Structure 1
Amino acid sequence: MTLALLVPGGTGQLGRELVARAPERCQVRAPGSAELDVTNAGAVIEAVKSLVEGAGELRPVVVNAAAYTAVDAAETDETRAFAVNADGPRLLAAACSAHGVPLVHVSTDYVFPGDGDRPYREDDRPSPRSVYGTTKAAGEEAVLGSGARAWVVRTGWVYGAYGHNFVKTMTRLSAKHETVSVVDDQRGSPTWTGDLAAGLLELAERVTSDEPPAAKVLHATGAGETTWYEFAGAVFAELGLDPARVRPCKSDEFPRPAPRPAYSVLSDEAWRASGLTPLRHWREALTAAFAESRDAFTP
């Protein structure tokens, strides 16, 4: 893999994993928002220009991991959420188009309404129910309509060694409470950042090759599906604790400002058809994540 990577959002949960997984022969710049504000047109243009100028014989590519991910806060912070999740990708796509650089943009299951009963396909029409989902759908539209060589990768239920996530929350709660109540009426596919980052790096290499994926929208999540309650039980099991300490409850028992999708399983049909390596089953990945990063999950 001989890539020059620019990873906006490089200090976030996924961005840090991309840096950690990138092969040594890759040239990686992974600025956080303090270093590269994706809503600043001048900064974005300069970042992509510098990527191209510094690539040498390497193949430049942008993997956008920058996002406003505070789902509930977005309901009352719509302007900022749109700026980061919609305007930012638009500016990145325009800069990539101007310099002939491929763009891989990371999106979310929240672009769908969550009322389905079968895995959402890549060509299903987005119909978000939250401000966060609406801003991410707008970002997808901006990228795909930009004229840039761009691919959108939707994922969901992401956790990993870096940042805040569900697995770390369950670990913290397990040390404080004898029992923990977790919703059992929302279904999705837990996705380890280790596997997701590996998939995105594989895709980054493909989009810079002579045979890039024909599909412009791809889904990459852990295989299989489960509920948050079952996921929590699996986390307890990995901790060597009794999964019975996790109790099921309904979403309406824990009302949130932003609605959560009841069903957000994503089909990876286009990912597989593109010849990309499928992400492993979510339960297997969880075991692998703990084997690799137990200390990060249990500080």
Structure 2
Amino acid sequence: MTLRIAVTGWTGQVVCAMLERVPVGVEVIALRRPDLDLAVPKTVAPALRSARPDVIVNTAAYTAVDQAESEPELAMRVNGEAAGEAARAAAALGIPMIQLSTDYVFDGTLDRPYREDDATGPISAYGASKLAGERAVAAATGNHAILRTAWIYSPFGKNFVKTMLRLAETRDEVGVVADQAGCPTSALDIADAIFTVARNLTARADDADLRGVFHMSAAGEAVWADVAEAIFAERERHGGAPVRVRRIATADYPTPARRPANSRLDCSKLALAHEVRLPEWQSSLRPCVARLLEDQAKDQR
């Protein structure tokens, strides 16, 4: 029997990755505006009901981290209220809900990777809105898996990898923050993991260990400057000119929103419960860079 997954959004990195990686026996129904508009939470439940899904995956979000500082109400409506509406729809349909969340629910002050039971304390409007979404989902249904991830990149949308490759076209040196630690995570790997979690939730409806909050990022760790160096090294391997990374402090690159200095996530709970382990970050980054470079070359022909 086909597993029907309704996913919020259409152009987001994870939605695009899910649509590209749909496994056999799964159908992904991507819901988009105007039928489903997270900025108008009352549209959420009717759109989800009409999709007749077996699982709801809420990946769409207000992701403009800096802009959220000047639009906190909109961020809260999209990331908080609408997530709750989706969870209430899941509860009414009697199906599981997967909520994609973020490392930004933490303040980043710990000296080790964060575990699921560590105290939250967002330091940005975006982080606060995503934490509100987690709480709204948990309040609406116990049949949920909240997946916190970090530093998402992919061949789709806007992300750090694309930014670095764009800058490399016109610069031979780029300043990159070297005092924020985390782990770049491929949206394609996230998509594969979501499909596994969705299957587990539907196959084992009474297994409480499969439900709750889980951390899900690539294996290993890095600072942003490390990631930039890996991107430029792969670009050079494909014939690009060398680009140097100048390691800078967060204070040297001020932004409206504060970022956690430590975004490292302990993902052992996800591995134990769902048998999901994402690859080392370097192994997924390299093919993404190669793919983007190939796309660039095609566009220039």
**TM-score, structure 2 normalization:** 0.92
State the identity as a percent: 39
Q: What's the CA shift for 1:126?
A: 1.0
Structure 2 equivalent of residue 279 of structure 1: 278
Question: Are 1:231 and 2:231 an aligned pair?
Answer: no
**SS at 1:272's partner residue?**
helix
Residues 217 and 174 (structure 1 numbering): CA distance in 2 closer, same or farther, change over 3 Å?
same
Q: What's the CA shift for 1:125?
A: 1.6
Structure 1 equivalent of residue 215 of structure 2: 219
Matches within 5 A, 1:237-248: 237-240=233-236, 241=240, 245-248=244-247
Amino acid of the residue matched to residue 289 of structure 1? C
> Which ranges in structure 1 are unaligned for 5 or more consecutive residues?
none
Amino acid of the residue matched to residue 268 of structure 1? C
Q: What's the CA shift for 1:285?
A: 1.2
Structure 2 equivalent of residue 81 of structure 1: 75
Distance in 2, matches of 1:285 and 1:250, equals 26
Distance in 2, matches of 1:207 and 1:283, equals 30
Distance in 2, matches of 1:34 and 1:257, equals 30
Distance in 2, matches of 1:171 and 1:24, equals 34
Structure 2 equivalent of residue 126 of structure 1: 120
Q: What's the CA shift for 1:229?
A: 0.4
For residues 9-38 of structure 1, the C-alpha deviation after alignment (integer angstroms, 9 at most, x for no partner) is: 232111111111112532221123444113
Distance in 2, matches of 1:263 and 1:20, equals 31
Matches within 5 A, 1:18-167: 18-52=18-52, 60-167=54-161
**SS at 2:119's partner residue?**
coil
Amino acid of the residue matched to residue 101 of structure 1? I
Structure 2 equivalent of residue 259 of structure 1: 258
Distance in 1, matches of 2:242 and 2:116, equals 34
Structure 2 equivalent of residue 169 of structure 1: 163
For residues 93-152 of structure 1, the C-alpha deviation after alignment (integer angstroms, 9 at most, x for no partner) is: 111101102100000000000111100001112110100000000100111111241110
Amino acid of the residue matched to residue 20 of structure 2? A
Amino acid of the residue matched to residue 3 of structure 1? L
Distance in 1, matches of 2:144 and 2:201, equals 8
Question: Are 1:178 and 2:172 an aligned pair?
Answer: yes
**TM-score, structure 1 normalization:** 0.92
Q: What's the CA shift for 1:215?
A: 4.3
**SS at 2:274's partner residue?**
coil
